Structure 1
């Protein structure tokens, strides 16, 4: 199987999983159902993922890739870093909206299965690292790790606003993100980040 074909299969699995999640809730989605809806045998699905956490990793990678593709060439390096990051994060919320029903039930499931949330943390931090990279913000070393941690916390906080903002323009999300980016920018300047 070519690398491109394997990536297409992974995206297909992620999309199917989020569709099922939106229909019946992530807590009720089984690997067998994902395989069936994806047109795979359970053995074929096993060759791609180990468990449901891997499915969520595929969803995260799909979202990351879409954001990176959509933002390719869209940012001007002369624009302040905060504005570039704002645009990237708003694009991320736009992409999340494509899978809104499924994502919402995944987030709900974390209340009942906190292990899944903990397992997702490194993947979320990796995603935020990519978002910072896309904005042209340095992520190496201790300072970079602090930026990744800060953006991850900001993203989780804004995600809570996104959950309740069903408006097309996502005005509440934009306001919360802008306000929190301002706070983070102030802290970053204070600490020399």
Structure 2
């Protein structure tokens, strides 16, 4: 096998095994035996089981990104929410062949906080690429906050997707639309999002000045509590 073919074969075998058993019960030797390569060949491509997980995320990213970016004709005239909706639906389409592997990872993460944290970090990196594909700024502090929030948002949508038996994914699309509506600040309101990281005194001063503005809703700048922190044990492929 060529190096790239070996990588692909190992990843396919890993995902097949993940659909059959929990992540903690998949040894590197199991993956090598399933795809018919030696441990030495596999070691040239992967350093650990966590590396296989990272490869899964990267493979999904590439699949989505290969279908076009913010300059694609289908995005013409659409706002950031609509573009991101399309990109995240593409991600779910890319995950469809591996639905049982995602389901297994979700169960495993609920029992293993370290795995859940690792998956969340991988998802944050992936969601930066999803933001870029949708033409939404993903740089700097604001981009980091958007990626973190989007990772949590996507984890919630995954839960619906895993239970959605409709080929048209009506429930999933409705859930994604609702989550993006609730998380609209992640999409383009840079000042509001970045204010999360402003020191406490500055936030307090800003809040006080906003309260004096006529017609200002004092809660307008508050991020929804369920978007400010990830749900425990929720993976986000």
Q: TM-score, normalised by structure 2?
A: 0.73
- Structure 1 residue 77: Cα displacement: 4.3
Give structure 2 stretches of 5+ with no counterpart: 194-237
Q: Which residue of 2 aligns with 1:81?
A: 80
Measured in 2, the distance between the counterparts of 1:182 and 1:146 equals 17
- Which string of whole-angstrom CA distances, capped at 9 and with x for unpartnered residues, describes residues 79-100 of structure 1? 2111110001011111111111
The within-5 A match list for 1:1-12 is 6-12=3-9
Alignment of 1:124-139 (within 5 A): 124-139=123-138
Aligned to 2:196: none
Match of 2:173 in 1: 174
Aligned positions of 1:1-193 closer than 5 A: 6-71=3-68, 73=72, 75-185=74-184, 189=189, 191-192=191-192
SS in 1 for 2:46: coil
| Separation of aligned partners in 2, 1:98 and 1:17 | 13
- Could you tell me whether the CA contact under 8 Å between 1:128 and 1:151 is conserved in 2? yes
Identify the residue that residue 224 of structure 2 maps to in structure 1: none
Preserved CA contact (<8 Å) 2:142 2:190: no
How far off its partner does 1:10 sit? 2.5
- Paired with 1:103 and 1:153, the residues of 2 have a C-alpha distance of 15
The question of whether the paired residues in 1 share the 8 Å contact of 2:6 and 2:41 is answered with: no
What is the alpha-carbon distance in structure 2 between the residues aligned to residue 52 and residue 137 of structure 1?
32
Number of residues of Structure 1 aligned to a counterpart in Structure 2: 190
Q: Secondary structure at the match of 1:100?
A: helix
Q: Distance in 1 between matches of 2:169 and 2:84?
A: 17
Give the Cα–Cα distance (whole angstroms) in 2 for the partners of residues 63 and 97 of structure 1.
11
> Which ranges in structure 1 are unaligned for 5 or more consecutive residues?
none
SS of the counterpart of 2:47?
A: coil
Give the TM-score normalised by the residue count of structure 1: 0.88
Q: Does structure 2 conserve the Cα–Cα contact (< 8 Å) formed by 1:88 and 1:131?
A: yes
* 8 Å Cα contact 1:11/1:59 also seen in 2: no
CA distance in 2, matches of 1:29, 1:156: 23
Larger Rg: 2
